[in-house]
């Protein structure tokens, strides 16, 4: 599943050109995410420079094209939006997260919202969690989104996550399933810290 241009690269010259420039080089759509954490420091620094250049070069029109595509295009766009700090896309990323139309891109939306770090970003995460923690039958990006909200609380001094942590609250009920679930939220938060550090490094290399 995806946007109106998902799966149409073969007959959509504009989409194909943007994919070839920003999504597929070096399989960027796969590397941006958890794979970054497995890179050696020097390789990660080089990749941050490369990502920073791409984020500085991509135009709003090209970002819109990617956000109308499939998960590869949307995931890549979210990372480039984060690095270039284009907060005008906050609402669009929130809409895509809430819609959860396909796999693999949700964590990228969370990283972008975390990198913006404002109260408005926390509100988008709260809206997502209010909807999907009520669905124990679905295991989408609830754990990563919740870890992101916890991190934003820690950084800002807010307590937006508190409502979900009450005994018998939505987080506990979602974990109870069925099926039963267990997540290392500290591990997710550590990963988020490192991914946001990459965003900052890439942004600095691009002068964003």
Residues 13-57: pLDDT tens digits?
889 999 999 999 999 999 999 999 999 999 999 999 999 999 999
CA-based nearest residue to 149, from 120, 194, 114: 114
Q: 95-129, pLDDT tens digit by residue? A: 999 999 988 999 999 999 999 999 999 999 999 99
pLDDT-derived band of residue 9, with 50, 70 and 90 as boundaries? low
Contact 171, 165 (CB under 8 A): yes
Query: What does pLDDT average to over the chain?
Result: 94
pLDDT of 2: 60
Helix (H, G, I), strand (E, B) or coil at 94: helix
pLDDT (mean) for 146-169 = 97
Interatomic CA distance for residues 165 and 160, integer angstroms: 10
Contact 105, 71 (CB under 8 A): yes
Interatomic CA distance for residues 8 and 206, integer angstroms: 31
């Amino acid at each position: 599943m995806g946007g109106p241009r998902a799966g149409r690269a073969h007959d959509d010259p504009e989409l194909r050109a943007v994919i070839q420039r920003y999504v597929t080089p070096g399989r960027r759509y796969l590397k941006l995410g958890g794979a970054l954490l497995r890179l050696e420091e020097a390789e990660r620094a080089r990749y941050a420079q490369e990502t920073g250049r791409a984020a500085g070069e991509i135009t709003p029109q090209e970002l819109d094209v990617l956000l109308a595509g499939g998960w590869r295009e949307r995931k890549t766009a979210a990372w480039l939006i984060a690095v270039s700090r284009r907060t005008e896309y906050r609402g669009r990323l929130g809409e895509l997260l809430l819609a959860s139309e396909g796999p693999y891109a949700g964590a990228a939306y969370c990283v972008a919202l975390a990198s913006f770090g404002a109260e408005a970003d926390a509100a988008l995460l709260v809206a997502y969690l209010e909807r999907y923690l009520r669905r124990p039958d679905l295991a989408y990006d609830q754990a990563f989104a919740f870890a992101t909200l916890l991190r934003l609380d820690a950084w800002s001094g807010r307590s937006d996550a508190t409502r979900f942590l009450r005994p018998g609250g939505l987080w506990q009920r979602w974990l109870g399933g069925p099926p039963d679930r267990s997540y290392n939220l500290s591990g997710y938060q550590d990963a988020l810290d490192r991914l946001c550090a990459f965003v900052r490094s890439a942004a600095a290399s691009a002068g964003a």
